[in-house]
Amino acid sequence: MSEGHGHHHPRPASAVELRARALEALLAERGLVSTDAIDAVVELYENDVGPQNGAKVVARAWLDEAYRERLLEDAVPAIAELGFGGAEGDNMVVVANTPTVHHMVVCTLCSCYPWPVLGLPPIWYKSPPYRARAVSEPRAVLREFGLELGDDVEIRVWDSSAEVRYLVLPMRPQGTDGWSEDELAAIVTRDCMIGTAAPTANQPAIR
């Protein structure tokens, strides 16, 4: 749906919103950018591409040891087996948490993020506090997210400021024996796959 068709503004448009609409309007009026193309991209990342994709990858890896090995060995084709891939997932590496190693991902320079499996990044991921602090005080950052790790757990931070995009494979929580792939995927939140949270058996996924 394009702006201006059935979309209500509860308050006057801000200067930046007006500027954004003006740029779209200018390009549409010239026939340079199609409204369908803009709508299609917006809808792609709102409906089809998001952390639900990554959660399926994680759940499959928890259930299928051969898949897990393929995923950790060469992530792009393993992720493509489930039908996911494309822009910002061109070069992927999956890193697996263990009882003694916890991975977390940041992009200090910008906002690099594995779109095909996680969608578009949350505001906090792109914001100065996370970009500044994830590399220089990761434990303090994780504590803010409510994740306390023992001193015996080594934190490995991946600053994905180049072309490789990283996905964290969290540990399967206790109390999930016998769960189906769909049930497992439902507890794998986005933050678990960035490395700022850990899945638990009794917590529904918050996207």
Report, as residue numbers or ranges, the catalytic residues. Answer: 107, 110-112
Query: Which DSSP category does 8 fall into?
Result: -
- Smaller CB separation from other proteins, 98 or 136: 136
- Smaller CB separation from other proteins, 42 or 64: 42
* 68 HSE (CA, 13 A, CB side): 16
Nearest 5°: CA angle at 73, between 70 and 76?
Answer: 75
- Smaller CB separation from other proteins, 62 or 138: 138
| In the complex, least distance from residue 130 CB atom to other proteins, rounded to whole angstroms | 5
Query: Which DSSP category does 47 fall into?
Result: I
Stretch that binds other proteins, among 53-61, 62-70, 129-137, 173-181 (CB under 8 A): 129-137
Question: Which helix (H) or strand (E) is 94 found in, with range?
Answer: strand 92-96
The residue assigned the tokens 């919103």 is 17
Q: How far is it, in rounded angstroms, from Cα 28 to Cα 35?
A: 7
| In the complex, least distance from residue 198 CB atom to other proteins, rounded to whole angstroms | 15
Pick one of 99, 151, 174, 177: the residue that binds other proteins (CB under 8 A).
151
**Residue 119 contacts residue 50 (beta carbons within 8 Å):** yes
**Judged by CB under 8 A, does residue 154 bind other proteins?**
yes
Stretch that binds other proteins, among 38-46, 59-67, 167-175, 177-185 (CB under 8 A): 38-46
Q: How far is it, in rounded angstroms, from Cα 169 to Cα 9?
A: 40
- Contact characters 167-206, other proteins, x per CB under 8 A: ---------------------------------------x
**Judged by CB under 8 A, does residue 148 bind other proteins?**
no
Question: Which helix (H) or strand (E) is 19 found in, with range?
Answer: helix 15-29
Crossing angle of helices 35-43 and 15-29, rounded to 10°: 130
- Smaller CB separation from other proteins, 30 or 202: 30
Contacts (CB under 8 A) with other proteins, residues 62-121:
76, 85-87, 89-91, 93, 108-111, 119-121
